[in-house]
Chain A
């Protein structure tokens, strides 16, 4: 018996493939959780290691999220708690006038076109619940006052969009009241963690970092081993064998950097850069295997978890008896170090105000945290003429610079890396003004969104940045994108590969080390990546 096949008419076919945009109000438009956009759910085991509530395996794409029975109560009680603890949250819930200034400032909105990715609407998802349960008008008038009951669909929608925000704060810059979506996302994610709704990509590294000191879960010997590999490579390139120390008591300086740079290219080249620079200066510093993580994925779960992970840095500085701390190139690490660390785990009264052992410069701006950014340290060295540099070794590179969201909008570290770049490369071109410095576009993969399963989302979010890189590539022939963030180094590599093939990604200190003329080095044939230096291509 033959099955009757009906061929659709062309017009019908055209209709069926047309993406029908929502004509309904946003509150009445259901959210579908689409593959490529979300990260896998957390494993119960990892949440259990750090004693999180409601730890269990779960899968966002399944209907049943295995929530505890009283999940609404937990969520709303948690919200009440946070409203009482954070003025930012309370005020930001109350004063938004929905002027729309932020609407098109988000890289995820620009790249996806999904209206719920407008910062104002992302916040309204949570704000509607706030109005319904915490304001008189909302309790009385409900939807008319913009309120919305916390149903399971609402919860899923909030979760979905909380994990499509990288807390980059670009929207906050344009808001007339300084409403910061990062703050709202942080609160939202903290609430989700009360229900065990974390992602695997965040909870795994958190558990690792808690137990082993770094996100990758590198055990002490593995860290040393990895760095030994770099030492070998440095020796091959320069003829010099650098000899860093680990967990050494009595060193003057503790150096902490994101563990991503210990293993993944191109971060490893940046790490080699640090090793070479510190060796050349001959400074008395040590690495730690216990505090072997500058980054803080705990920051993407809850305030308490972030504090727990961060505590290791000061604890280790105290145990080793160092005078102060230098931090490597990383984005959210520096937001945490600048705006949170001292408050959480300070005062660091057992440390001294950082003073450069080479130039004698006293870093007054870090006199309380006692921790300076490596680009502040290096910029000072260059300004005082303490480094012998040959920028022509980077002549094959035409460089542009990407500001990390966190160092730009959570710190204001804008000129230091640029000053270094201008001294170590000869070809440097800025991207357009509305895409750099405080207006910088996110890489699209921050706040623990740099997994693989959500690659489509990452590429959407990365489009505005990549688009600006493409512009300078076409205009100036840019082939290298410099930055000071470990997540950037990993994720922009993928983003460039997709959007702007031919542009590679580097840390600033890789370029420093390429240009750095070290005492007693042999004539270099290649740069740190093993590519022949300009003029040595024939060898």
Chain B
């Protein structure tokens, strides 16, 4: 039997075990909610994970296409990047796919098992892992970007204005600095 057949035969079993291992990283109470609430708007996290892993798995079966699979990795990792997780926790779910596949199809394999194909598949999963790391870092960079940008965006008009005023009028620099507390303008609350 070819690896492809084995995998498609066990597709739903693999996916559901993979999903379970991902949910294990959440508190037990939450995991149940993530699993049971099927409304995609009431449960965006659970929905993103189920749909994401299906698409990733199917893509692996069809032969990994980085372009195609990235958006799905992105939806899952983007969420994990803002939850209380270390980088390793955030991307570890990719590695657990290996374990799940081994346990589902390889462990009790007898006779001629397509070991070569399995190794190839595992290499493809490694590619996913590396890709995930890239995505994770990109998400975190985005977050830092947002932190910095929000400040910049808030003060941009002020600076722009102060600069032009400074050109036109005399004695305007006080607009820029104000008194002691006007440096609060850096901390625009809204």
Contact = CB atoms under 8 A, between A and B. Distances in A.
A205 interface: yes
Nearest to A103: B33
Nearest to A434: B41
A487 B190 contact: yes
B118 interface: no
B189 A297 contact: yes
A67 interface: no
B82 interface: yes
B187 A204 contact: yes
Interface string A453-483: 1011001100110011001000000000000
A463 B79 contact: yes
Contacts of A217: 178, 181-182, 184-185
Interface string B41-69: 11111001000000000000000000000
Contacts of B188: 215-216, 260, 263-264, 490
B5 interface: no
A222 B183 CA distance: 13
Nearest to A260: B190
Interface stretch (B21-29, B104-112, B119-127): B21-29
A260 B89 CA distance: 38
Contacts of A111: 44-45, 79, 82-83
Interface in A88-107: 103-104
Contact of B92 (A17, A110, A259): A17
Contact of A115 (B30, B79, B154, B165): B30
B116 interface: no
The dominant DSSP class at the B interface is helix
Contacts, number: 184
Given A104-B42, A452-B151, A467-B44, A23 B28 contact: yes
Determine which residue in A222, A265, A499 has the highest number of CB atoms from chain B within 10 A of its CB, and name it: A222
Determine which residue in B26, B92, B165, B188 has the highest number of CB atoms from chain A within 10 A of its CB, and name it: B188
Given A104-B37, A455-B146, A459-B143, A14 B92 contact: yes
A261 B29 CA distance: 42
A114 B27 contact: yes
Contact of B187 (A201, A229, A468): A201
Contact of A18 (B89, B146, B149, B182): B89
A14 to B, nearest CB: 7
A486 B37 CA distance: 32
A19 B43 contact: no
Contacts of B79: 111, 463
23 contacts: A17-B92, A18-B25, A21-B26, A37-B84, A103-B33, A111-B83, A113-B45, A204-B184, A217-B181, A222-B178, A226-B158, A263-B185, A264-B153, A435-B41, A450-B190, A456-B143, A459-B82, A459-B143, A463-B44, A471-B41, A490-B154, A498-B82, A498-B139
Interface of B: 24-31, 33-34, 37, 39-45, 48, 78-79, 82-86, 88-89, 92, 95, 139, 142-143, 146-151, 153-158, 160-161, 164-165, 175, 178-179, 181-182, 184-185, 187-190
